Amino acid sequence: MRARSAIGIVGRVFVSCGLLLLLFVVYQLWGTGLIEGRHQTTLRREFTVELHHVRATETTIASATRPTVPEDPHPPSSATVPPAEGQPVGVIQIPKIGVDVVAVEGTSESDLSLGPGFYFGSPLPGQRGNAAIAGHRTTYGGPFFSLNKLDNGDAIYVTTLEGIYHFVVTQMLVVDPTDVAVVAPTSFAELTLTTCDPPFSASERLVVHARLVGLVAPPPPSTPAKTGGTGKGTTTITRRVTSQVVDLAGGSGGWLSAVWWGLGCLAFGLFVWLVARRRRRSWPIYLGSIPVLLVLLFFFFQGISPIVPASF
């Protein structure tokens, strides 16, 4: 009897673990997309407001201080102080594969859950150098899922506060996650997109290089440069300083959130079990607890997703 009881307990543990893994896969493939979609709506609204504000402010300043000598219609783009981590930087559009997504600053797992992220130290698109962006292939909306379908010559458009820049694909390759040469600085304006490869795996990285063709829409009229300023509508002379990228995997999250939500799930499960034991018919208790447990598991999976070995 003891052996049969032990086997029964082990069996229930394995079934529970299997159900948890299945629910986690469902969360990774669909739940993360819901999170990314909600964040993208907020980021697009923030970026649109900032873009309109900059355009209106700089146009007003330029009109009030109209130069007597014609300026270069396409002056070199002034580098700006990068936004805070997780804040919108620009909009990436790739017509061939239907990509239209807001990119943020940073490549940690929390940053990439919002959308594609700029590697720290990367110049802004349109500036001289290698503007490198990482994005998920299958989770969190999979913004770069179809990146492998691009061919040389395909168009990529990036909208920043400086203007709309047109790039064309020049090279595609698959590299090891430690091959940081693909995001190394360049002497010309280049755009590099990286994502996991193959789909549903993080063993390698698919890399797309694209070269700047020109401006679709010119930047707003230049304003006097101000050192140290970061207010809206101003331009600074501080450049993004290119820093060394350790690898192409991006940063990971912390354990604290996952631990707390995991303890919450265990506590709720224990509470439901104790209540059900005191009732003659326990199945209504278990059935009624499912919605609450699913909500707790959603937040638990949200906490554990950034720290699993591969979040594609």
- How far is Cα 252 from Cα 116, in angstroms, rounded to an integer? 15
For the chain, how many structural domains are there in total? Answer: 2
Domain check: are 223 and 120 in the same one? Answer: yes
Domain check: are 171 and 30 in the same one? Answer: yes
Residue 128 burial (CB count, 10 A): 17
Question: Would 71 be classed as within a structural domain?
Answer: no
Place 273 in a pLDDT band, splitting at 50, 70 and 90: confident
The residue out of 226, 251, 276 marking a domain boundary is: 251
Domain check: are 237 and 262 in the same one? Answer: no
- How far is Cα 215 from Cα 75, in angstroms, rounded to an integer? 11
> Which range marks the domain in which residue 268 is found?
252-312
pLDDT of residue 232: 43
Question: Would 13 be classed as within a structural domain?
Answer: yes
pLDDT of residue 75: 43
For the cut 70, the answer to whether the pLDDT of residue 39 exceeds it is yes
The residue out of 236, 251, 266 marking a domain boundary is: 251
pLDDT of residue 308: 66
DSSP state for residue 115 in the 8-state scheme: S
Domain check: are 131 and 195 in the same one? Answer: yes
Place 162 in a pLDDT band, splitting at 50, 70 and 90: confident
Domain check: are 247 and 263 in the same one? Answer: no
- How far is Cα 233 from Cα 221, in angstroms, rounded to an integer? 11
CATH number, domain of 235, equals 2.40.260.10
Domain check: are 152 and 271 in the same one? Answer: no
Domain check: are 236 and 301 in the same one? Answer: no
Domain check: are 147 and 262 in the same one? Answer: no
Domain check: are 202 and 275 in the same one? Answer: no
Which of 39-53, 132-146, 180-194, 278-292 comes out lowest in average pLDDT?
278-292
For the cut 80, the answer to whether the pLDDT of residue 312 exceeds it is no
Domain check: are 103 and 231 in the same one? Answer: yes
**Exposure class string for 174-184: b at 16+ Cβ within 10 A, else e:** ebebebbebbe
**Exposure class string for 36-53: b at 16+ Cβ within 10 A, else e:** beebbeebbeebeebbee
pLDDT of residue 71: 43
- How far is Cα 214 from Cα 199, in angstroms, rounded to an integer? 32
For the cut 60, the answer to whether the pLDDT of residue 70 exceeds it is no
The residue out of 251, 282, 300 marking a domain boundary is: 251
Cα Rg of the chain, angstroms: 24
Domain check: are 193 and 244 in the same one? Answer: yes
pLDDT tens sequence across 206-258? 999 999 998 876 555 544 433 333 344 444 333 454 455 656 766 555 678 78
For the cut 90, the answer to whether the pLDDT of residue 136 exceeds it is yes
pLDDT tens sequence across 166-183? 999 999 999 999 899 999
Domain check: are 290 and 150 in the same one? Answer: no
How much of the chain exceeds pLDDT 90, in percent?
39
- Mean residue pLDDT across the chain: 81
Tell me the mean pLDDT in the region 261-265.
88
